[in-house]
Amino acid sequence: MPCFGLSKRNIEKAYQEKGIEPNNIILTRHDIERILLFMSERDTVDRIYINFCNPWPKPKHRKKRLTHTKQLMLYREFLKENGEIYFKTDDDGLFYDSLKYFEEAGFEVIKKTDNLHENNIFENNIETEHEKMYLEDGKTIKALIAVKNKI
């Protein structure tokens, strides 16, 4: 996958510029629905970033969304208690539907914005290539931070 190699190079460059070794990140190109097949019960994650995923706008495909309730329930399996999900999208339908999905899956949306670049809710927003492209096209970026709560 070309994106995997690009991500790896960008991460290595960012760490190299700071003079440190990457020690807190793992990149994988596994299908998210199979992630529990290669993670042990001891493996946990502090934060998940979901950036500009496929919005799957047709109603019959919405269960494929990375923010759909069934997917969020899967993330709960390996996300630490009070772990966070950072989510960015340019798609209105996906964003507003996702607010409902997060609630259904037992997450609390602690910050949200309809325009990330007017109201930056992320401490250190890393602008992705998609983000730059959408901004150049005049689109606004919607974003949220959700925290895993006990169900």
Domains in the chain: ranges and CATH: 1-30 (no CATH), 38-148 (3.40.50.150)
> What tokens appear for 7 in the block?
């991500």
Runs of H (alpha helix) within 25-144: 69-76, 92-104, 129-136
pLDDT at site 151: 73
Check if the beta carbon of residue 92 is closer than 8 Å to that of residue 123: no
pTM of the entire structure?
0.85
Say whether pLDDT at 114 is over 90.
yes
Arithmetic mean of pLDDT over the chain: 89
Which residues have CB under 8 Å from 97's CB, separation 6+?
62, 65, 67
Q: Find the range with the poorest average confidence among 11-15, 69-73, 76-80, 82-86.
A: 11-15
Q: What is the mean pLDDT of residues 114-143?
A: 92
What letter represents residue 11's amino acid?
A: I
Q: Give the span between the Cα atoms of 28 and 85, in whole angstroms.
A: 17
> What tokens appear for 87 in the block?
């989510």
Split at pLDDT 50, 70, 90, the class of 10 is confident
Phi-psi domain of 132 (left: phi exceeds 0; alpha: psi -120 through 50; beta: other): alpha
Over residues 16-39, the pLDDT tens digits come to 888 988 877 777 777 777 888 878
